[in-house]
Chains A and B, each alone.
Chain A
Amino acid sequence: SQTIHQWPATLVQPVGSPLSLECTVEGTSNPNLYWYRQAAGRGLQLLFYSVGIGQISSEVPQNLSASRPQDRQFILSSKKLLLSDSGFYLCAWSWTGGTNEQYFGPGTRLTVT
């Protein structure tokens, strides 16, 4: 079966510090991968998605970037965090082709102080 992992679960970082959140998927090959930000009362905002290694599409211009160095690894990064980057970040995967149902990781709660 497939599983998706995210770490860390929680993170407190000062403004201006770098960020690296990691997401890995097990049990499948060549998945589509996604990063979302979940805000209270605003639903899920798609930040980045990837259909393959090194292929990243950005949905919202911002202070963040994403990379996919390996087939089942997806990384969310920032060189310098802003206060507004605080939030709950979710990673998700879906099959290539077929239906577009997505499967979510446990999330990372990021607090920028």
Chain B
Amino acid sequence: AQRVTQPEKLLSVFKGAPVELKCNYSYSGSPELFWYVQYSRQRLQLLLRHISRESIKGFTADLNKGETSFHLKKPFAQEEDSAMYYCALSGYSGSARQLTFGSGTQLTVLP
């Protein structure tokens, strides 16, 4: 079975401070991981995917297979980063690919 854990329900940082949102996963195969973000009154949207090794809005996330983690990081948080963040794992359940989401972390960036 696949599982995603986001240990922090709430996270507050000050503007300009570094931020790290934690994500750990459990999956027996080769994982495909994503971060989704939901800003206030907007729809859930893809932020970044691990296979792209990209930086989006200053955020990066590195897949660490040894620690089964995919933490999201940004060196200098901005107020507009305040949102709900979900880590998601794509894997097979039976013959179908499914996306399993963590319970989310509400990030608040204080002025």
User: Which A residues are closer than 8 A to B by beta carbons?
Assistant: 32, 34, 38, 41-44, 46, 49, 51, 57, 59, 90, 94, 99-107
Contact = CB atoms under 8 A, between A and B. Distances in A.
A94 B97 CA distance: 10
B34 A101 contact: yes
B96 A43 contact: no
A49 B6 CA distance: 24
A73 B86 CA distance: 26
Nearest to A36: B101
Given A41-B9, A42-B103, A51-B96, A101 B49 contact: yes
B58 to A, nearest CB: 20
Given A43-B103, A102-B99, A104-B44, 20 more contacts: A32-B97, A41-B9, A42-B103, A43-B104, A44-B101, A49-B96, A51-B96, A57-B96, A59-B98, A90-B44, A94-B99, A99-B49, A99-B51, A100-B97, A100-B99, A102-B46, A103-B46, A104-B43, A104-B45, A105-B43
Interface in B70-111: 86, 90, 96-104
7 contacts: A41-B103, A43-B102, A43-B104, A44-B86, A49-B98, A102-B46, A104-B44
A105 B45 CA distance: 9
B44 A43 contact: no
B43 A107 contact: yes
Interface in B13-68: 32, 34, 43-46, 49, 51
B101 to A, nearest CB: 4
Contact of B32 (A44, A51, A99, A106): A99
Nearest to A46: B98
